[in-house]
Structure 1
């Protein structure tokens, strides 16, 4: 652009100071082209020239009203992040002055800054005649600019910044690196805009769980054979997904499937699912790492106030976003992990979920979901004490006993549509029993000082419920019923097989079975699994219990039955 050459820095600054650009279309267009010029052009303005122009415009920022919006847009969209630090300082000061004088430009400025939160190509940091600027430096400059303008206009945090952060969040189908970068940058924003913490973490959880659910939806869309094979990978029945990258890498890595398929469409679909799993794994790792900064490092009986605040925030997010989501596999493990950082957290989580499961005013589906969560948590939570396990079981069994006593006269046979909440509690207790039966035995001393081992009080109400007219063994998930029946009989707690056989012969008509969904079934994401391993109870075989039919009693994750009690190499009654 040779015609820009006559407009040297000193002249440019002078004619701006003299308002020579106002009302003069030619001069105005010259200013616009200074900022929209391609830096690779031979005659493109230097950073020093642009800096002097920016400094001069800063003195006239009050005059940059709506009639100058095209010039402002050119300045906001100019290539500034890879220029000299002196230019960046001048540019950021200009942005601060601009939004202070004209709030109408705040949206344009924040959207530009938030636009750097996603994937950054390495070419972004390269400009002719400039030292290369790293991605880390670019991000630091962007956050410096954003923090600077928020300090000047704090009201923009809610009115402008938050909507921009929501709008710019990568779509669930976008590549992994875009999600990783964006997530890390949003968490960085919380450091200097703490008022947004609750909203941003809720938003992040909502977006993460959308990616989580998409995996299951896409698996179900596959043909039966391919879907079953991939489902097996996700649930740990065969070797886990290939680890293709780490979360600190900038460039996307692609994973080739271990299995060959004939149909190109299936290959593409499976590749996409694997990439989505890898993306979710990295996003959850980042969230675990973020929350670990304030939660206790080790099991703590006296968590600090900030740890309490963090857990309360996580619990609210769980109630509002995770619990109502049906088909998530992994996002809920954030709460599973956090709730085991302190007995206070464990109790708080259990009380909250039990209240929802026993609340007759809540919809059946909501109560069943809550019952599945309490069952799965108590069964799998390694730090949960024997005492706490017994307390939960007693509470649930007390409910069962009262329910049978008060409602039996209304029952004319099994009906999951009417008594679904009750059945979900029966299923929860049976599920817990299969995992924690060792903790449900107590030593009791009689009047002669003889110590006997007895089942914890209240478990007799489970027997009452099983043998009642409600007939829960008919509607509870078959794999749970069969596993419980075998273990209960082996331990001489109760005998259910006669009821099971009667149900088979009678062929009761009902509205269906309870879903066999337990949200804390084995966690198979390879990178983020390290946060879970020390808190997770794997299936423990019952000594001496022999399985007559391994295939029918397998309680591991299954594509048709949504996963049960076992781990991949175990079956229910080894």
Structure 2
């Protein structure tokens, strides 16, 4: 029997039902726009992009409009996922000074919670925190055309933003410990250039001090980047010139002002001011807890934030690797190395640790050219501290001088009958001899006062200076002539006749810790420096402390060469 069949409508599979998009209402709120965007509707994507662009123009709106607009974002931390990265970045790009005060705390809480819900936002949020820790600066020109940097916020407002940013950072790192390395990256990426306003430099140094103290695991990286930037500034303002020292026997240490390539009232003067403030802040920080700090937190407005700080634990040990990786590779720096000079003055332990680092670098054999220069600089720094630091007593000086003398004698024994002396083959030997003789020349009066000249004769000075490697012809000529005069006065060894005034190269002349060219720092460091003091009965040296014209010729009369040489070369000992 034919049965009338009712036409059956095709059914829907379970998979098809799962793909059906729910009916989306018209997007009237930010939350609805995000939902629509996640579902991939065209309208949702368009409005999503419009919201991101609107966030970039927020600072041009009136405050009541900003309040109404931002209100829709404050409860969306749980809605943001990886697909909303552009919107979260747009929120992070908003400058906090344009966020209404009533919404600042919930706005930052929303960003912090977004990181907790989805760590993909950690980098963007931390970069926002670090960027807003730097004071907002606007450049304005007056009627004369002079451009000045103006901070857009008052000190109280800046401090409020600082506290808010620090709370966000602390909360994120506390809940997500690996985020501390993203924090380090964010800080380094927002490092201000040396031409940036002073306010930004101060904020950056403060941030590094605070973060390095709070998170020791990133302290070496942060301080290393900071020191590297300060060294670049130091290279611009330093007046040290090894070339002039090597050629002009009247000034082994350059004491006269050099002609600047830049206007002193312009570029270079501003760099000096910034470097001076930054170094003062660092000196204050590393000096916390010492018995007689050269600068206290309440001495300057830039260091007041350190008043509530406890003495940093192990700061000297944390900064020692930076000395080896950054400072010892640099040349002719007047100011930044004084940071370690100052820390060495705290205690005998710090001083000996520093000396051992220099000694290890000096005496470790190496075949790489850069490592040779590092060893030469280490010898220069060791001699600079032994000679110029007034906290290095006679016993410590003698200990390290004996170490250098014994090393030189062992090197001479191993060299055998070498017929080809030269800086390329024996550069480290010449650098250590130069360091050794410089300390003796600078502090020879103490050997006289302590009646230890006979002890000095036992160190093998005659064998060192008369050896087949001809060290007096490869160290700084002014120093060689000065040592000839001093040794003649103490009747240790006669060596004036073997000094060749020609430039045999390639040993670079570097005698650090001469002085600081920064106004404030120079006053702080000066009490730690030792002045050259000749023997009381050495009238020729006493009368010739002021540098005189270089003497190009030398008299062979052993009784005539001393006044001429010391008169010409006394500049190597005075500053």
Q: TM-score, normalised by structure 2?
A: 0.74
Q: Assess if the C-alpha contact under 8 Å between 1:517 and 1:564 holds in 2.
A: no
Judged with a 3 Å threshold, the aligned counterparts in structure 2 of structure 1 residues 394 and 67 are, in CA distance, closer, same or farther, namely closer
Shift of 1:86: 4.0
Distance 1:173 1:413 in 2: 49
Distance 1:121 1:133 in 2: 16
Shift of 1:522: 1.7
Distance 1:271 1:566 in 2: 33
Q: Assess if the C-alpha contact under 8 Å between 1:55 and 1:90 holds in 2.
A: yes
Aligned match of 2:120: 104
Q: Assess if the C-alpha contact under 8 Å between 2:387 and 2:442 holds in 1.
A: yes
Distance 2:203 2:485 in 1: 50
| 1:184-229 deviation per Cα after TM superposition (whole angstroms, max 9, x unaligned) | 2222223443432222112211221122224459999xxx9xxxxx
| 1:285-315 deviation per Cα after TM superposition (whole angstroms, max 9, x unaligned) | 121122112555469xxxxx97672111121
Shift of 1:27: 5.9
Judged with a 3 Å threshold, the aligned counterparts in structure 2 of structure 1 residues 132 and 348 are, in CA distance, closer, same or farther, namely closer
Structure 2 unmatched runs, 5+: 1-26, 139-149, 245-250, 295-309, 553-569
Distance 1:367 1:19 in 2: 64
Aligned match of 1:551: 549
Q: Assess if the C-alpha contact under 8 Å between 1:371 and 1:424 holds in 2.
A: yes
| 1:491-548 deviation per Cα after TM superposition (whole angstroms, max 9, x unaligned) | 3333222223xx46xx7xx852532211222222111224322221122244433267
Aligned match of 2:353: 348
Shift of 1:401: 2.4
Larger C-alpha radius of gyration, 1 or 2?
A: 2
Counterparts of 1:313-462 in structure 2 under 5 Å? 313-361=318-366, 363-407=371-415, 409-412=416-419, 414-441=421-448, 454-457=453-456, 459-462=458-461
Shift of 1:94: 0.3
Aligned match of 1:251: none
Judged with a 3 Å threshold, the aligned counterparts in structure 2 of structure 1 residues 284 and 564 are, in CA distance, closer, same or farther, namely farther
Distance 2:491 2:50 in 1: 91
CA RMSD, 1 decimal:
3.9
Q: TM-score, normalised by structure 1?
A: 0.74
Distance 1:15 1:315 in 2: 53
Distance 2:47 2:218 in 1: 42
Distance 1:539 1:117 in 2: 46
Shift of 1:117: 3.8
User: Do residues 277 (structure 1) and 272 (structure 2) align?
Assistant: yes
| 1:48-81 deviation per Cα after TM superposition (whole angstroms, max 9, x unaligned) | x3564233323xx2x3224433432332223434
Distance 2:465 2:402 in 1: 16
Shift of 1:120: 2.0
1:168 to 190, 210, 215: 190
| 1:402-439 deviation per Cα after TM superposition (whole angstroms, max 9, x unaligned) | 333342x3322542222222222221111001111133
2:508 to 492, 496, 515: 515
Distance 1:307 1:473 in 2: 45
| 1:3-25 deviation per Cα after TM superposition (whole angstroms, max 9, x unaligned) | xxxxxxxx977975995886553
SS at match of 1:283: helix
Distance 2:326 2:178 in 1: 27
Distance 1:267 1:319 in 2: 31
Counterparts of 1:45-444 in structure 2 under 5 Å? 45-47=65-67, 49-50=68-69, 52-58=71-77, 61=78, 63-81=79-97, 83=99, 85-121=101-137, 134-158=157-181, 160-215=182-237, 236-238=255-257, 268=263, 271-293=266-288, 297=292, 309-361=314-366, 363-407=371-415, 409-412=416-419, 414-441=421-448
Distance 2:434 2:30 in 1: 81
Shift of 1:342: 0.4
Judged with a 3 Å threshold, the aligned counterparts in structure 2 of structure 1 residues 235 and 479 are, in CA distance, closer, same or farther, namely closer
Judged with a 3 Å threshold, the aligned counterparts in structure 2 of structure 1 residues 307 and 40 are, in CA distance, closer, same or farther, namely closer
Q: Assess if the C-alpha contact under 8 Å between 1:340 and 1:383 holds in 2.
A: yes
Judged with a 3 Å threshold, the aligned counterparts in structure 2 of structure 1 residues 525 and 236 are, in CA distance, closer, same or farther, namely farther
